[in-house]
Amino acid sequence: MGLDARATTEGRRGTAGESADGPERVRRGSLRFSGAPFIRAPKERGAVSICGSAAGRDQPQRTRSRSTADHAPSRLTPRWLRTILATLIAGAVVFPLSAAAQPEIPAPPPAALAPVTAATLDEAYAANRANAAEASRMAAAHGDTRRAAADDSFAAPSRQLLTFDGRGEGEAVEVFGDLATADHIAVLVPGSDTSLDTYDRFRATALALRDQLARASPKGTGTAVVAWLGYETPGTISATVTTTGRAEQAAPELREFIREMRSVVGREAQVSLLCHSYGSVVCARAAAGLDVDDIVLVGSPGTGADTAADLRTRARVWAARGADDWVANVPHVSTDLFGTTVGFGTDPISPAFGARVFAAGHGGHSDYFAPGSASLANLARIVLAETSEVTHA
């Protein structure tokens, strides 16, 4: 599930896990304001999935009766859907992709930073740019010219990186605007297949929202957008994209990031969490007690929660889906398979879920941040707390 350049599309798959690496540990996906950091463990990769930018279009087909008298298609029941989900996930476990054996891309550990404050943001940005430059040199020496070019772009003088980690699929958190003085802040959480190699497509969504906010903001209102690639995303063609496991690993990172960001921007700033596709599962897992004003789910396959109330958040919960988004065809079921929950349950735009449903126009899965779209206009209104101006589906 991804976003593209005119909005956001996501590329290579990611993985997660945690392990110690000696006495000094580095926190990935956070501002590293305080505490001993940590390093993630070796990556795991899956294989086959029913959800994805390509696989998602190929939804389970209706079966036909074998009766000689009646060959009309029969309707799939929830039990059949659960069986299909279980079969595909089991296949992914039994037949892992050969990509699992691919070597890691070398890169230095993340920059060691003192607790970041509003006064030291520029120092943090500079340290992370320097780290990206070193990662680029190491990737080039390794012969990975694609990653070397991606890392080098992060080292550009204009980039404002709160964090950067070039190891593996990579992680980065980038700021657009003046975070220290912003009154309204949007934090974007991407879905599957987002990595440093494909980051520019995710970045395009942040830039589109930043531009929309600049046009729509009342005079004197400060805004900032944060692109939070602070977790290792699942691959579209993988077993992990159909479970909440990767989201559960990412949720503590997102909670910590919001907590630390609040120490920079203060309690008065309006913070909105904009979550696309599998990113909506991450946001749902992090929601309880999260200090944000809005949680927005776009192109969501489900959250793993039955209702918005089950997220246990004080934030307003919003949801939207474009008319041409293939994710509408993903079965909204949830079943247990060998102790793992497969599927994400209730459709977030359904009345049963209880979110505030807003208009997203006729766009597809990658069009929520497309310039000029109904969805982008409504996202900006939510970020600016102009809730009465949001148009509804």
CA angle, 33 then 258 then 352, to 5°: 160
**DSSP secondary structure, 302-345, as one string:** --S-SSGGGG--SSEEEEE--TT-GGGGS----EEETTEEES--
Query: According to the model, what pLDDT value does residue 375 have?
Result: 98
Give strand pairing partners of 340.
Answer: 337
The angle, 0 to 180 degrees and rounded to 10, between the axes of the packed helices 145-154 and 199-216 is: 30
Beta carbons within 8 Å of 108's beta carbon, 6+ residues apart = 131, 134, 135, 138, 166
Query: According to the model, what pLDDT value does residue 168 have?
Result: 93
Written as six digits, the tokens of 57 are: 């279009």
Q: Which of 151, 204, 199 is nearest to 176 (CA)?
A: 204
> What 8-state DSSP symbol labels residue 220?
T
Query: According to the model, what pLDDT value does residue 35 have?
Result: 33
Residue with tokens 């589906």: 393
Q: How far apart are CA 111 and CA 78, in angstroms?
A: 49
Maximum alpha-carbon separation in the chain:
78
Which element (helix H / strand E) includes 283?
helix 278-286
Q: Which of 300, 241, 250 is nearest to 97 (CA)?
A: 241
CB atoms closer than 10 angstroms to residue 136: 22
Provide CATH code, domain 98-389: 3.40.50.1820
Q: How far apart are CA 194 and CA 235, in angstroms?
A: 8
Q: How far apart are CA 231 and CA 177, in angstroms?
A: 22
Query: According to the model, what pLDDT value does residue 328 have?
Result: 87
Query: According to the model, what pLDDT value does residue 391 have?
Result: 97
Beta carbons within 8 Å of 231's beta carbon, 6+ residues apart = 14, 16, 29, 171, 246, 249, 250, 253, 254, 282
Query: According to the model, what pLDDT value does residue 103 have?
Result: 62
Which element (helix H / strand E) includes 91?
helix 78-94
Query: According to the model, what pLDDT value does residue 345 have?
Result: 74
Residue with tokens 């694609």: 146
**Domain spans in the chain, listed from the N-terminal domain onward:** 98-389
Q: How far apart are CA 155 and CA 159, in angstroms?
A: 7
Which element (helix H / strand E) includes 168?
none
Question: Which amino acid would we find at residue 277?
Answer: S
**Sequential pLDDT tens for the chain (393 residues):** 544 433 443 433 333 333 333 333 334 444 544 333 323 333 333 332 323 333 333 333 333 333 333 333 333 445 545 555 544 443 333 333 333 445 688 999 999 998 899 999 999 999 999 999 999 999 999 999 999 999 999 999 999 999 999 999 999 999 999 999 999 999 999 998 899 999 999 999 999 999 999 999 999 899 999 999 999 898 766 566 566 678 889 999 999 999 999 999 988 999 999 999 999 999 999 999 899 999 999 999 898 889 999 999 999 999 999 999 988 888 765 556 555 555 567 899 999 999 999 999 999 999 999 999 999 999 999 999 999 999 997
Written as six digits, the tokens of 142 are: 């390794």
| pTM, rounded to two decimals | 0.75
